[in-house]
Amino acid sequence: MGILAGCETASYYTQAATGQLRILAAREPISDVTAAADTNEKLQKQLRLVQSIRAYASGELQLPVGRAYGSYVKLEEEYPLWNVLAAPEFSLSPKRWCYPFVGCASYRGYFSKASAQAKGNELLAKGYDVYLGPVPAYSTLGWFDDPILSSFVNWSPERLAGLLFHELAHRRVYISGDTQFNESFATAVSQIALPDWRKRYGYNGPAANRIAQALAVNHLMLATRKQLETVYKADISDVEKRTRKAATLERLRACYRKLSVGWPHPERYRYYIDKTNNATLALVAEYQSQVPAFKQLYQQSGDWPAFYDAAEKLGKLDKKTRKQRMSALTAAYQDSSRKVTGPSFDSETCMSAANTPVATGEN
């Protein structure tokens, strides 16, 4: 057993190193790409936008940009990476993998889709809920100068800025072994920074629609988590738990269909919703659950450097104390914002309890 596990681990790190080096070797400075005669006008425009976003992140957000995202890579495939997520059949706690230097995380990344599928099938055979998802962008946490990839370079300005703010935030604050803390922190940085960035550069309208839609979907996912947590804790048979679990997930899909009526691009979340299981619901908590706490911390800090310092201090606390502090910050944020946390499945329309209007304008 130990030998087999060692072989699997060695194989995993070999593919990770090979894939990463392949991307690094393909980097071209953005200045060279934009100056090349065969670079089309759209790509030139997007890369100039990237340079503007990098300057804003460095100057206004005071993030350690360095040479990150100063180069471009045209991928051979559509995506650079595929993540495998897993959670037990009756639990919303994700399976975790541990890595040198960066600690443990609730995902396993593969540069080959086939390898990711093989790992996913292995976990399915063991009874896990599994989700296999493409990763258009990722951060090496400052170990390398991450490039702009063809998998996301053509995103809308707001989405591109939000991504870069998120990934660059990881270079400023990263706590080994706490995915929930790290991802919520980076998500909060992005969400806090985007309104001023949009105002600064005159981006209006569609971004507000996308944010409202994303919040509505997140509320549905959190409501689903809450119901499933009750199911999994109930003193009932596994057969009954499976039945109630299936009914809850089907209700989520029905709610999303109702919620997204009139949206210009309902397919944006449909695939994710249709594939939702314990693994994806666990991920929602990883990326979103502590965002309100960090927003409250930012309000208390007053500026970006103080906020980063405060986040680092939180990260140095022992896990129990850190959790208590984050809970207190979340409660303070909710008290100040007085927002309903999301739609209720108990209502006939699934979302009538939500007080956040969902815009339906063109994205």
**In which element (H, E) is residue 97 found?**
strand 97-99
3-state helix, strand, coil in the chain (%, to 5): 60, 10, 35
Mean pLDDT of 232-238: 97
What letter does residue 77 receive in the DSSP assignment? S
Give residue 140's pLDDT.
86
Identify the residue with better confidence: 88 or 7.
88
From 75, 82, 98, select the one nearest 130 (Cα to Cα).
82
**In which element (H, E) is residue 306 found?**
helix 304-315
The pLDDT tens digits for 177-202 are 788 899 999 999 999 999 999 989 88
The pLDDT tens digits for 11-60 are 888 999 999 999 999 999 999 999 999 999 999 999 999 999 999 999 99
Give residue 21's pLDDT.
94
pLDDT bracket for residue 111 (50, 70, 90): very high
Residue 55 CA from chain centroid, whole number: 23
The interaxial angle of helices 304-315 and 319-337, nearest 10 deg, is: 140
From 108, 127, 139, select the one nearest 11 (Cα to Cα).
108
Residue 208's alpha-carbon distances to 117, 254, 276, 321, in angstroms, are: 36, 24, 25, 36
Q: Are 270 and 308 in contact (CB under 8 A)?
A: no
pTM summary value: 0.81
Give residue 206's pLDDT.
57
Q: How far apart are the first and last CA of the chain?
A: 51
What residues contact residue 252 under an 8 Å CB cut-off, 6+ apart?
220, 221, 224, 273, 276
Give residue 334's pLDDT.
84
